[in-house]
Chains A and B, each alone.
Chain A
């Protein structure tokens, strides 16, 4: 069924169709719409969800952890500083192997305080043990949220899932969208039936016990193995989702990559802008392509290396700084993934779009022009640069 919704509305609608047991709710810009719409569904009796309003995100995630451990399906939504306030609990959720689903509407993390889109909030949580899936637009935000539970809840995975979209650009822009029938969604999600849960009275359970050093590392290895297993499960769920929706998803999307010599790797809504740039350049005979990473955790290293193996020059574009003084997090992961290739493309990093700084088709074209230069001359120049800021020096 066709509709027109903002990204936040689309995710809230997916949540309504899923009808989860518990929503741990605390508002923060730009994710506020999600609990707001959902509060309406709860008030109107359109869902059976226990809508728990709390005093902070530390508490909203705590509610989710307790509910999920008790055997319920728990969800939440947050952004930026809200995600930061959940930080400790993100690790608790993942290490207790509780498949909570969180809608993360990406916003710059203070400071300076800013409410616009970049990925510094979720990138800061990239090592917390959560699966991270990123959307380009409202359709993907809706589709990814529906796929999150079958991924996270499967026994071999049992990990929480963060379903991310760009703040305002995706969360507030109204676009056409194809929605699934509620019956179809519920059948796809299925019932949540964990083997062990706190409310199972015939089987007492302790969750999250203190772990001394002779045991801790074994549990972290279990978690690492679960994250590795998630990759296959994400693809299985994507294949099943294609059957009900006709929409195809992978670990990343390759756009005009078949014969691409110059490629950009990035995450999120900028992919739309980059696709327009690729199309323009293709009209002029430039063999340009785009890889849009959908799944950042688990990181699709081997697959990405294969996709980029035939290119000559690649720009990895990070929408978060990272302050490693050695490039952003997507660059670090991508460069590491390419290390095992016998013949590697030239690789540069461009940090852009921080705190909602706009990026235009022309900016992406400039990046491709630099890649063309690198491919011709073999001289990469500075490997790690910023784009879109004011400077006395030339930037890209």
Chain B
């Protein structure tokens, strides 16, 4: 079976999966999709109650969780959609213009 990690831009058609089928889960991790971002969420840890609302609302995997607490954004996967800011009941997330990482 051909794995997604073994296919790259030099792979001949004979060694690719038919129709681009992907035979394993979680392959989105392989792609840095954060480069699309034009707005950037900023995490204010002091205002966060760790209610975890933002985590399931994030359409990608830009909000890592460890030991029941959300950590700072993983900007590799953040497209800046702003859904997390919208669902956050506290002033723990604000959006800033631009695609850079704001600290």
| Chain A residues within CB distance 8 Å of chain B | 95-97, 158, 196, 203-209, 211, 214-215, 218-219, 221-223, 225
Contact = CB atoms under 8 A, between A and B. Distances in A.
B19 A207 contact: yes
B20 A211 contact: yes
A311 B65 CA distance: 76
Given A206-B21, A208-B19, 20 more contacts: A158-B18, A196-B21, A196-B23, A203-B23, A204-B24, A204-B25, A205-B23, A206-B22, A207-B21, A208-B20, A209-B20, A209-B22, A215-B16, A218-B13, A218-B16, A219-B13, A219-B16, A219-B20, A222-B16, A225-B13
Nearest to A203: B23
Nearest to A218: B13
Given A218-B12, A221-B13, A97 B19 contact: yes
B9 interface: yes
B29 to A, nearest CB: 13
Contact of A97 (B18, B24, B25): B18
Interface in B20-40: 20-25, 27
Contact of B20 (A203, A215, A225): A215
B19 A95 contact: yes
Q: Which of B11, B21, B23, B24 has the most CB of A within 10 A?
A: B21
A219 B19 contact: yes
Given A204-B24, A205-B23, A222 B12 contact: no
A346 to B, nearest CB: 40
A42 to B, nearest CB: 30
Contacts of A206: 21-22, 27
Nearest to B15: A218
Contact of B21 (A205, A215, A221, A225): A205
16 contacts: A95-B19, A96-B19, A97-B19, A196-B21, A204-B25, A205-B21, A205-B23, A211-B20, A215-B7, A215-B20, A218-B13, A218-B16, A219-B19, A222-B13, A222-B16, A223-B19
A157 to B, nearest CB: 11
A223 B23 CA distance: 19
Given A205-B22, A206-B22, A214 B16 contact: no
Contacts of A196: 21, 23
What 6 pairs across the A-B complex have the smallest Cβ distances? A218-B13, A206-B22, A204-B25, A214-B9, A97-B19, A221-B13
B11 to A, nearest CB: 7
